[in-house]
Structure 1
Amino acid sequence: MTELDETDRRILRALAEDATEGAGALGRRLGLSQPAAWRRIRRLEEAGVIAGRAIDLDREALGFGVTVFLGIKLAARGREGLDAFERGISAIPEVQAVHHVLGRFDYRLIVVARDLPDFERVLRRRIMVLPSVGEVEANVLLSQERRPGPL
């Protein structure tokens, strides 16, 4: 585990708010020189604390008004069933995230769709036909109160 001081934490909070901010602007905002901010960011990247930077797309503005958390319990166990399911699910563009989990379900997915009829189409024609899919539970996102950020 990498030891983080308060300046590192401030850098992580700032980058979580705006990952596009350059080292110069970040340094000015945090009271650091541009080279000092750059060195700290580079060290955090090399240590694996910063695994990458991504943009946050507004799904609704892109026409995806429905987000569904989908729990899937596989009907068949074994490596072949897992591999076939994972290959199939990764080919569906509406599936934004796949989490292999412990508990009632084997997988938790985040699926986006234009609307509920579009989600039903994706579920029936693309997800339910995958190998080993057994029980499915869908939870439609009503609102999102908090965006993920650093610990």
Structure 2
Amino acid sequence: MSPDAPEIDETDRRLLRLLAEDSARPASALGRELGLSQPATWRRIRRLREAGVIAGRRLRLDAAALGFGVTVFLGVKLSSRQRVALEEFERAVGAIREVQRVEHVLGLYDYRLRVVARDLADFERVLRRRIMTLPGVGDVEANVLLSEERRAGPL
């Protein structure tokens, strides 16, 4: 554990698991499950937020229910690995609304992107007109998501 890391006890761990399942649960309900009062639960949540352990709350949308039937993971290798090219690429790819996630990775590719589209024709349009025209883009490899068996959960 790093010197700046907060002390996390078993109650904190249980609280984090409950929040990871449903971050909108009221502190009173969380407290009942943990055997704590609402104020004690809020103090723990506030301490964990202030320490950076809880980085925010996210709303998870169902892409398919919103009309985005295709998810593609793209490996992107930049043709130029200069720092300016990296920053330029990151800024440009961040402006593409279909790109849901951008990860700078070590390996065969420089970036891994999660892209959603209405269908394969829509994905091809996004790839050709938006992604392949970005500064520094070299090789690209696409992997279409067939199914997602496990969603992100607690650490």
Normalised by the size of structure 2, how large is the TM-score? 0.94
Report the more deviating stretch, 104-113 or 73-82.
73-82
Normalised by the size of structure 1, how large is the TM-score? 0.96
- The correspondence for 1:50, drawn from 50, 54, 58, is 54
- The correspondence for 1:19, drawn from 13, 19, 23, is 23
Q: Give the Cα–Cα distance (whole angstroms) in 2 for the partners of residues 53 and 67 of structure 1.
A: 23
Map of 2:71 onto structure 1: 67
- The correspondence for 1:115, drawn from 114, 119, 123, is 119
1:27-106 pair list within 5 angstroms: 27-106=31-110
- What amino acid sits opposite 1:43 in the alignment? R
Ranges in structure 2 where 5+ consecutive residues have no aligned partner: none
1:124-143 pair list within 5 angstroms: 124-143=128-147
| Runs of 4+ displaced beyond 4 Å | none
Shift of 1:85: 1.0
Shift of 1:3: 2.3
Query: How much identity, in percent, do the aligned residues show?
Result: 73
Q: Give the Cα–Cα distance (whole angstroms) in 2 for the partners of residues 28 and 16 of structure 1.
A: 17
Ranges in structure 1 where 5+ consecutive residues have no aligned partner: none
Shift of 1:29: 2.0
Q: Give the Cα–Cα distance (whole angstroms) in 2 for the partners of residues 145 and 8 of structure 1.
A: 28
